[in-house]
Amino acid sequence: MSNPPAKNFTVELLQMDVPAEATPVVFGWSERAKWLLSSPNPPPAWQELYISMKETLFPRAKAKELTRTNRCFLFLQNLFPILKWAKNYKATKFKNDFMAGLTLASLCIPQSIGYANLAKLDPQYGLYTSVVPPLIYALMGSSREIAIGPVAVVSLLLSATISKVVDPSTDPTAYRRMVFTVTFFTGIFQALFGLFRLGFLVDFLSHAAIVGFMGGAAIVIGLQQLKGLLGIKNLSSHTDVVSVVQSVVKALRQEWYPTNFVLGCSFLIFILSTRFIGKRNRKFFWLPAIAPLFSVILSTLIVYLTKAEKHGVKIVKHFKGGINPSSLHQLNFGGEHLGESAKIGLICALIALTEAIAVGRSFATVKGYHLDGDKEMAAMGFMNVIGSFTSCYAATGSFSRTAVNFSAGCETAVSNIVMSITVLISLLLFTRLLYYTPLAILASIILSALPGLIDLNEAYNIWKVDKLDFLVCLGAFSGVLFGSVEIGLLVAIGISFSKIILNSIMPRVEEIGKIQGADNVFCNLVQYPMATKIPGILIVRINSGTFCFANADSIRERIMKLVKEENGTEKDTKRGLRVLILDMTNVMNIDTSAIHALEELHRDLISRGIDMAVTNPKWQVITKMKASKFVDKIGDGWIFLSVGDAVDASILLKSNALNNC
């Protein structure tokens, strides 16, 4: 074992005739090392889980200051944020929320009908999904702007995945039951993610993967709308672009009705024109919001007056109104498709959460408040669980409707309540009037919402910043477009995992030097050419969050390569390298393979007459080093709190060694 420099500082200072006033600094190094070595063990995993759950349910507060009644009220406030801000809610805010809610409903009603058609459900289920989930979210959610309801991507995901298990054309009842069961599992997974703070699972769908997935899904959704836009009777059940195009070409050779195409394209141009006007002039923000509803009303009136349904125009026909019926008895937990339902529910939970949290946080940033992702997950989860009991399918935050809600001047989640009540009134009073609504109009409404899902500028930015991230984006896009929704997700997650593994097994080990004129600032010698080496000392930083079996040997070999380059191949040199300082600031965790690699590295260095110091090991790292007796093997005097402490101690030790020579 090497002599620990921290224990010999006082003797060395006396030998070097250092002034007495410098002595307290020496003890400062020693004391800081003791702080590090005497730190308590970190809490066990079960305790961290308990604390995270407690923080999710209760806000940070001093427990001693809370009575039992206060704790109960605090719990309710945390579970239902509406109890916090409702106390200060004013009439002026309600006026803004009321107008925003009505504007939101005018866009939500036609979109919900179209998205239900995309999900291969009857149109009323889209409206049901715009009634109950927004009400639950208004009570439990913390975003002021987000608009809840059915969205295109989740609707496509449900139809694409469930149709492979149950055919909606042959057994619509079984298909509908599975949709509700999948929605229940979606809510359960989302609630668990929020309660146990498992939001990091959503992060496996990286930003690049979401950009590619959304772009591919938008094109697939657009192709699916050709059935309604062209009046085609049968379209391929497969979602890949090749199958859909082949199916459309085959259908066009047979009987189809151009009137549907003319009607749909006319209103599509009208809707896109109003959106262009709304973007150019903020005063007309309401124009693109009411354009879809106006299109539905006008087209329905045209079809009714001209009897266009007798001339080949496809219409909605069946439309059941009324309040949401209970679907509790339709949930299927004992059938043969239970495993498939849970799997699809997990995928839907991840996609829906990713979209909702991204939308909520972007608008929260504009308004200047923080959005708690874990609480949002829990709110989304309870919203979908209750929705599955009331004939709703998976709902989440819609970007297009949230943008309309924001532009309309919403103040709180009351706008969701107003929208929900408006949709409910429509279900009770006006559904019969929608019997003659042409399917081509619903297709044009969905098509008008798709350009917002394709973000070419962001894809280009990803290409400029990180080529491997762009590969993830391209993989997700191609997988959805030429395979299926599941394949696109699997490709994106697979490439993302490969990127993580690649970064783990090929960590960067960099040599750092001191910036002259700065106090204890050490930087990469390549990145900062003004940094200088310290003679006789090699400082190496490990740039990997995890030091483990996957990269332990690679890190040890790279460090030894730097040592050989610095000191040559001789095992002992009096004027060469004397100390290797290993900076572990970036290492968050370590395993037994890494500790074994460090022991081998220490033995190699000692055989060359080089001492090894370890600086700034994190809590988990130093705990495992002490438990494995690694600290005892290198000497507790070679563990330092900072690189600066290690350098000062090494210079002192080197000076002492030269004096002895």
35-49, 106-120, 583-597, 642-656: segment of lowest average pLDDT: 35-49
- Copy the structure tokens of residue 346: 């997990």
| Residue found by looking up tokens 């090749």 in the block | 242
- CA distance to 462, 534, 557, 595, per residue, from 601 (Å): 39, 21, 9, 10
The residue written with tokens 């239900």 in the block is: 116
Burial of 35: CB neighbours in 10 Å, binned 0-12, 13-18, 19+: exposed
| 533 token code pair | 């080496």
Lowest mean pLDDT among 30-34, 158-162, 167-171, 462-466: 30-34
Angstrom distance (rounded) from CA 521 to CA 512: 10
Q: Which of 36-50, 134-148, 150-164 has the lowest mean pLDDT?
A: 36-50
- Tell me how many helices (H) and strands (E) the chain has: 28, 10
pLDDT over 90 at 151, yes or no: yes
CB atoms within 10 A of CB 24: 9
Is it the case that residue 616 has pLDDT exceeding 60?
yes
CB 244 within 8 A of CB 223: yes
CB 225 within 8 Å of CB 445: no
Query: What's the pLDDT band for 507 if we cut at 50, 70, 90?
Result: confident
The Cα–Cα gap between 334 and 331 comes to 9
Q: Which residues pair with 522 in a beta bridge?
A: 514
Task: Give residue for tokens 């929020």.
Answer: 194
The overall average pLDDT reported for the chain is 85
Split at pLDDT 50, 70, 90, the class of 28 is: low
**Residue 545: DSSP 8-state:** S
Least confident of 178-187, 259-268, 553-562, 571-580: 571-580
Report, in angstroms and rounded to the nearest whole number, the Rg of the chain calculated over CA atoms.
Answer: 32
At residue 527, φ and ψ (nearest 5 deg) are -70, -35
Is the separation of the CB atoms in 380 and 396 below 8 Å?
yes
Q: Classify residue 169 by its DSSP letter.
A: T
Q: Which residues have CB under 8 Å from 595's CB, separation 6+?
A: 624, 625, 628, 630
* Alpha-carbon gap, residue 661 to 658, rounded angstroms: 5
Within 10 angstroms of residue 384's Cβ, the number of other Cβ atoms is 33
Choose among 399, 439, 371: nearest CA to 122.
439
Q: Which range is least confidently modeled, 215-224, 231-240, 455-464?
A: 231-240
* Across 508-526, average pLDDT: 88
pLDDT digits (tens, 9 = 90+) for 50-66: 766 666 655 555 444 55
CA triplet 369, 370, 372: central angle to 5 degrees?
150
The predicted structure's pLDDT at residue 458: 92
Q: Provide the sign of the torsion angle of the four alpha carbons 55, 56, 58, 61, taken in this order.
A: positive
- 223 or 24, which is more confident: 223
Task: Please give the C-alpha separations between residue 53 and each of 69, 80, 190, 382, 492, in angstroms, as whole numbers.
Answer: 20, 16, 14, 16, 30
DSSP character string of 577-607 = --EEEEE-TT--EE-HHHHHHHHHHHHHHHH
**Is residue 569 over pLDDT 60?**
no
Across residues 163-169, what is the average pLDDT?
A: 91
**Which of 271-275, 324-328, 343-347, 563-567 shows the lowest per-residue confidence on average (mean pLDDT)?**
563-567
pLDDT at 424: 95
pLDDT value at position 17?
39
Q: Indicate if the pLDDT at residue 200 is higher than 90.
A: no
C-beta atoms surrounding 85 within 10 Å = 16
- Tokens representing 93 are 């805010």
Spatial CB neighbours of 126, under 8 Å, sequence gap ≥ 6: 111, 112, 113, 114, 115, 116, 117, 119, 150
The pLDDT of 58-80, averaged and rounded, is: 66
Q: In the block, which residue shows the tokens 């930087």?
A: 523
Structure-block tokens of residue 198: 């498992």
pTM of the prediction? 0.76
Q: Which residue has the higher pLDDT, 260 or 41?
A: 260
Please tell me whether residue 155 adopts helix, strand or coil conformation: helix
Q: Given this model, what pLDDT does residue 148 score?
A: 96
Q: Reduced to 3 states, what is the DSSP secondary structure of residue 310?
A: helix
- Side-chain-side CA neighbours of residue 489 (13 Å): 18
Residues 390 and 187 sit within 8 Å (Cβ to Cβ): no
Do 613 and 646 contact (CB within 8 A), yes or no?
yes
DSSP 635: -
What's phi and psi for 2, nearest 5 deg? -75, 155
Exposure b/e, 540-579, CB count within 10 A at least 16 = b: bbbebebbbebbbebbbebbbebbeebbeeeeeeeebbbb
Mean pLDDT across the stretch 27-42? 71
Q: For residue 363, what pLDDT band results from cuts at 50, 70 and 90?
A: confident
CA-nearest of 141, 134, 137 to 420 is 134
CA–CA dist 342, 470 (Å, integer): 31
- With b for 16 or more beta-carbon neighbours within 10 A and e for fewer, the 580-614 pattern comes to bbbbbeebeebeeebbbbbbebbebbeebebbbbb
Q: What is the dihedral sign for C-alpha 194, 195, 200, 204?
A: negative
pLDDT at 11: 37
CA distance readout (Å), 32 to 26, 583, 612: 10, 16, 18
Q: Which two tokens stand for residue 172?
A: 């619509």
